A and B are shown apart, each in its own frame.
Chain A
């Protein structure tokens, strides 16, 4: 009886896993098939047509190294959006880590008045919906000239990312022992040297995870980029959304695959850090 129950449990788990992975299977079939009409389950012919139409793969006959370089150098929309997404994500991540580092140290190691209030202010963007602030900010940014600019989009991405990076790094500093720094200082190391030789190695693993997920939060931002970028800053999520609304499944699937690639990569490399105990996980709720 008991072993039967166990078997049922395990089959249920396998079934759940198959169901969970169905969208991913559908993405790949859609992106690499041609005329995948209802009611076929397995496509009759494979094709790279979606990728050719997105100008990511040259037409057959031109698929040499030069062919690829020429095509990509012609700056197709997907490549442009990909570069924008990567640049914004990278800049925002670096800036948020630099800003969060001293704040997290203070919040993690010291006790002071208004600390609870400050943490409350800091985390409020994780509970209140982005639509509540971005509509007002949109009008403000138009009058300040940030609207439709790269800088404006970077600034607005800092809002969902900042609380999450500060919280994660506060968690790291809460388990950090600053005595090692005092020892290094008494042994004659200067401030910079102490930071790079003592502090940084101690906080690096947690910081890398915080950075990777900060990048993902920026990477998946649709609403904020759309409203502040005012259609002038094209990123991958904007492209996925507009292609999905226009209803071509092959093109949507192909762009989506590019869009989810870093996510899967990051999960793969960080899966051993990712556990509910680390503050890093709570940021996922916002992606």
Chain B
């Protein structure tokens, strides 16, 4: 028994050490800095002024609250739309048809694609001189690039949402395809033989069966899109700005006080993600139990 315990401890120590020192250590250090503990510039007292400044000061409060609004809008919209798109694609694509394998590959293609590249792709396709604007111009819908709607680097975050839909739909798609495959069509055939129509089969048979996987995938997607930097940095505007970009820019600011505020902001982002994930988990678990 003692030997086994030693084996467990020895095996688990290296990965735990990495996570605890680098990840939790980084968070702890960020937390200390955000509380004003900055030995590098001779500040040792603990205070909440960085948090107060970010949340309520005249200088930053407006930026923060609009940024938070944008964050919530982008994360909810992109998670929901990507999931819906993937659900319909997966339901339609599992039937046999011409070029099914190719379609399957294309729908999974964005899965290993780095977010950065997807963001660049959105600029190429949706900007005012992008591929779609060119199509629109050839077809005579618009006369000049300025007439094409602003879809990237826009203040509503459309470009950011599009990029996340592009990328995460593939993630949802793969997960849904495998769930649907493992279920087979027995349940649906049974429902059909009992007289359920297409909508009823979808609502009362397929949806409850795929929901648990859809929920857990959407937690990952939501948390990621809430805290990621690259996509909003490339596709966003200066105001309103998503919180991770704001935190990063505070941090790189030569003014060392802004650095504390950047740290405070990054801790706030982490806290919000944690709270939202817990609420989401709690709601969906209750929902799944009820179903």
B46 interface contact, C-beta 8 A: no
A222 in contact (CB, < 8 A): yes
Given known pairs A14-B103, A249-B124, the reply for A129 and B244 (CB within 8 Å) is: yes
B7: which of A30, A106, A136, A237 is its contact (CB, 8 Å)?
A106
Contacts of B95 in A (CB 8 A): 6, 9
A281 touches B174 (CB 8 A): yes
Q: Is the CB of A285 within 8 A of B114?
A: no
Q: Give the docked Cα–Cα distance between A222 and B248 (Å).
A: 13
Docked-complex contact B228 and A129, CB < 8 angstroms: yes
| A131 touching B92, Cβ below 8 Å | no
Tell me how many residues of B have a C-beta within 8 Å of chain A.
Answer: 107
Q: Which of B15-69 contact A (CB under 8 A)?
A: 15-16, 18-20, 22-33, 40
Given contacts A103-B14, A136-B26, A244-B234, whether A125 and B19 have CB atoms under 8 Å apart is: yes
Q: A129-B228, A137-B29, A285-B221 are in contact. Are A237 and B114 (CB under 8 A)?
A: yes
Q: Which of A20-28, A73-81, A184-192, A194-202 contacts B (4 or more CB under 8 A)?
A: A20-28
The binding surface of chain A is classed by DSSP as: helix
CB-CB < 8 A to B89: which residues of A? Answer: 13, 16
Known: A13-B93, A102-B11, A252-B120. A126 touches B227 (CB 8 A): no
Asked whether A135 lies within 8 Å of B262 as measured between CB atoms, the reply is: yes
Q: Which residue of B30, B108, B135, B270 is within 8 Å of A267 (Cβ)?
A: B108
Q: How far is the CA of A29 from the CA of B118 in the complex (A)?
A: 16
Known: A13-B92, A131-B244. A139 touches B33 (CB 8 A): yes
Q: Which residues of A are found within 8 Å of B26, using beta-carbon distances?
A: 132-137, 140
Q: Could you say which of B22, B25, B27, B112 contacts A266, with CB atoms under 8 Å apart?
A: B112
Is B269 part of the contact surface with A, judged by Cβ < 8 Å?
yes
> Which of the four size classes fits the interface of chain A?
35 or more
Max count, chain B CB within 10 A of own CB: residue among A22, A25, A213: A22
0/1 per residue, A238-259, Cβ < 8 Å to B? 0011001100010011001001
| Interface assignment of B284: CB less than 8 Å from any CB of chain A | no
Residues on B with C-beta less than 8 A from A222 are 116, 229-230
The answer to whether the Cβ of B206 comes within 8 Å of any Cβ in the partner chain is: no
The reply to whether B93 and A38 contact each other, CB–CB distance below 8 Å, is: no
Given the known interface contacts A131-B269, A274-B111, A277-B178, the answer about A39 and B30 at a Cβ–Cβ threshold of 8 Å is no
Residue ID in chain A nearest B106 by CB atoms: A17
Tell whether A172 is near chain B: CB-to-CB under 8 Å: no
Whether B247 is near chain A, meaning CB under 8 Å from some CB there, is yes
B133 at the interface (CB under 8 A from A): yes
Q: A61 an interface residue at 8 Å Cβ cutoff?
A: no
CB of A59 within 8 Å of the partner chain: no
Contact at A259–B114, with CB atoms within 8 Å? yes
The residues in A between 107 and 141 inclusive whose CB is less than 8 angstroms from any CB of B are 107, 110, 112, 118, 121-122, 124-140
**Stretch among A64-72, A156-164, A175-183 lining the B interface:** A156-164
Residues of A within 8 A of B134 (CB): 38-41
- The CB with the most chain B CB atoms within 10 A, among A10, A20, A249, A252, is that of A20
Residue pair A128, B273 in contact (C-beta under 8 Å) = yes
Considering only CB atoms, which chain B residue lies closest to A107 in the complex? B12
A22-B131, A26-B130 given; A260·B262 CB < 8 A: no
Q: Which of A103, A220, A274, A276 contacts B179 (CB 8 A)?
A: A276
Q: Which residues of B contact A287 (CB under 8 A)?
A: 112-115
Contacts of B277 in A (CB 8 A): 127
Complex CA–CA separation, A22 to B126 (angstroms): 10
Residues of chain B within 8 A (CB-CB) of A30 are 124
Interface string of B205-226 (1 = CB under 8 A from A): 0000000010001011101101
Q: B69-88 toward A: CB 8 Å interface, digit per residue (1/0)?
A: 00000000000000001001
* With contact pairs A237-B116, A287-B114 given, residues A132 and B269 touching in the complex (Cβ less than 8 Å): yes
Instruction: For residue A278, give the distance in angstroms from its CB to the closest CB of chain B.
Output: 8
Given A110-B8, A132-B266, A256-B117, CB of A99 within 8 Å of CB of B18: yes
If the complex has contacts A17-B107, A131-B269, A287-B114, are A26 and B131 also in contact, measured as CB distance less than 8 A? yes
Q: Which residues of B contact A253 (CB under 8 A)?
A: 120, 124
Residues of A within 8 A of B12 (CB): 103, 106-107, 118
B112, chain A: closest CB distance, angstroms? 4
* A-B pairs with lowest CB-CB distance, top 3: A129-B227, A23-B121, A136-B30
Interchain residue pairs with CB less than 8 A apart (6)? A136-B30, A244-B116, A260-B117, A263-B113, A276-B177, A284-B111
Question: Given contacts A133-B23, A259-B116, could you give 8 more A-B pairs where the C-beta distance is less than 8 Å?
Answer: A17-B107, A20-B110, A21-B109, A22-B132, A26-B130, A135-B248, A155-B18, A159-B19
